[in-house]
Amino acid sequence: MAVESTVGDQCPQCGTPLVDKGGKERLVLESQPVQAEPILYQLPKKYCPHCRRTYQPSAPGVLPKHLFGNQLLTTSTLMHYLHGIPLGRVCEQLRVNPGSLVESFHRLAHLFEPVLSKLIQQYRQSPVKHADETGWRTNGKNGYIWLFATDQISLFLFRKSRSAKIPQMTLGQESLPGVLLVDRYAGYNKAPCSIQYCYAHLLREVEDLEKDFPDSDEIKAFVSVMAPLLSSAMKLRTQPIEDTDFYPKAAQIKTQILAAVNAPSMHLGIRRIQEIFLENAARLYHWAQDRKVPADNNLAERDLRPTVIARKVSFGSVSDAGAHTRGILMSVLYSLKKHRFNVEFHLKSVLDHLAKDTSLNPYPLLFPKNPRPP
């Protein structure tokens, strides 16, 4: 938008007429204040005497029985569930009532709830799957948030338990393709697919040995060999090399790791690390066989980090319904972000379609087969 600015026709100091000397352009970025504004729609009502039916149009850009327009609903949902802004600050900035906003979030989550089953099906068939969990309080009681993620999907499930039933329910009972990246928590052991343990966790345990036993020369020698090998395994797949170079180097690192864990040792701390590798050999070297499989679970930890920050700010969810709503909306928003959509524009467009016909299936609207380029 071009805006012309003037300085007047006379010198502000002496009053002499000013001579035109041309001008220059200056680009400035500006925005409008983000806050709710009331809009009054006049909705005419008409009656057909023959059919004995009354017709009245809906307010444009508003979901049925919603107080907030789709743009305001989109903005507030992204602020709270994607950007992690506390609810109180969202309400303060947008100038809306907290109770009304929370009710709108619940209604939106109910609308998108069928999407979760589709995302779970897609997650199960992914060649590389990640999973992790961390604590989350709901209604003042301890619970957990489970994350099941790929490079295209983020599923957030808020549950009261850390039981193995949660990953079993998500992954199902039938055999699945691909590899599941996890830490060594036993709850994932019955996953119906291959498992790759995270080397980042193992590297921390190896490095902790030297912190716990700083005077042991045997520990120092073991850590000096093992830590660089684990670090090299995690970094190898991202190096700018062809597959013809990757797999020989991966095989070499694997051979060196095996030599280190099979070497004789006297220290019990070293033996404990060696036993982890020897007893779980089937879950430690998928990264060397398939370059698509990382040696670490960093993707899941990055996905969980915003939730960990939100936990520190909000201390969890006030109710089970709030946790359920958070799980649905975060799953949708973070998955949209991974698809490299303009999340705000795309979500607003989906809500506008649903406002016209709430019977539409939201999944193909949110995740079209042929999305527009980012």
**pLDDT tens figures, 127-186:** 999 999 999 999 888 999 999 999 999 999 999 999 999 999 999 999 999 999 999 999
Taking the CB of residue 327, how many other CB atoms lie within 10 A of it?
Answer: 23
**pLDDT for position 15:** 82
Q: Which residues pair with 106 in a beta bridge?
A: none
Distance of alpha carbon 374 from alpha carbon 372, whole angstroms: 6
According to the model, what pLDDT value does residue 216 have? 93
Q: In this predicted structure, what is the pLDDT of residue 313?
A: 82
190-248 confidence digits (pLDDT tens): 999 999 999 999 999 999 999 999 999 999 999 999 999 999 999 999 999 999 999 99
Q: Which of these ranges, 24-33, 237-246, 314-323, has the smallest mean pLDDT?
A: 24-33
| Range among 35-39, 287-291, 366-370 rated most confident | 287-291
Rounded percentage of the chain residues whose pLDDT exceeds 70? 97
Provide the pLDDT confidence category of residue 2 given band limits of 50, 70 and 90.
Answer: low
3-state secondary structure at position 11: coil
User: pLDDT for 35-84, tens place per residue?
Assistant: 888 888 888 899 898 988 998 888 888 998 888 999 999 999 999 999 99
Asked if residues 113 and 138 have their Cβ atoms less than 8 Å apart, the reply is: no
- How far apart CA 257 and CA 366 sit, in angstroms, is 45
Total-model pTM: 0.87
CA dist 82 and 171 (Å) reads: 25
How does the average pLDDT of the chain come out, rounded?
91
